Amino acid sequence: MDYHSPEGSTSGKVPNPTDLSRRLESTQQEQQTKDNWSDDENSTATPSRSPNNSIPRVDLQTSTQLSPVNLQCCCGNENCPNLAAFLRSLKSMEDHLRLAAEIGQALLQQQGVYQEEIKEYQQKIEHQ
């Protein structure tokens, strides 16, 4: 049985965790590309981070609402670079959380399918 295939006994109904992981990697690469591009243009707009503590950043417009709460910086400046960096980090974290939830659900579904296959196989062995 090919465990990396969405086909098999599942008829392609269960998302493939490997494909979701590849999607995460490609999303991270796209965000790094955007990050490098935005760093070249606005090197002073966002604080630099070490490679070990980097959070992928995405381009945000100031009018983009990320949450139902209207966040304001303590300095009161609407164009505060610290607030913009925080909002980018928050959006990135929310995106990663959603993708992790999708991967987790796919893994749970796949595990359920494998459990059913094991039960069927054990029943076949017992009846022989």
Cα 29–Cα 31–Cα 33 angle in degrees, nearest 5:
70
Residue holding tokens 């109904």? 13
The pLDDT, as a whole number, for residue 3 is 42
Query: What global pTM score does this model have?
Result: 0.43
Between CA 71 and CA 68 the distance in angstroms is: 9
5: CB partners within 8 A, 6+ apart: 16
62: CB partners within 8 A, 6+ apart: 78, 79, 84
Per-residue pLDDT of 48-93, as tens digits, reads: 444 444 444 444 444 444 455 677 778 888 788 888 888 899 899 9
The residues spanned by each domain of the chain are 93-128
| Three-class SS of 47-89 | CCCCHHHCCCCCCCCCCCCCCCCCCCCCCCCCCCHHHHHHHHH
Residue at 47: amino acid letter? P
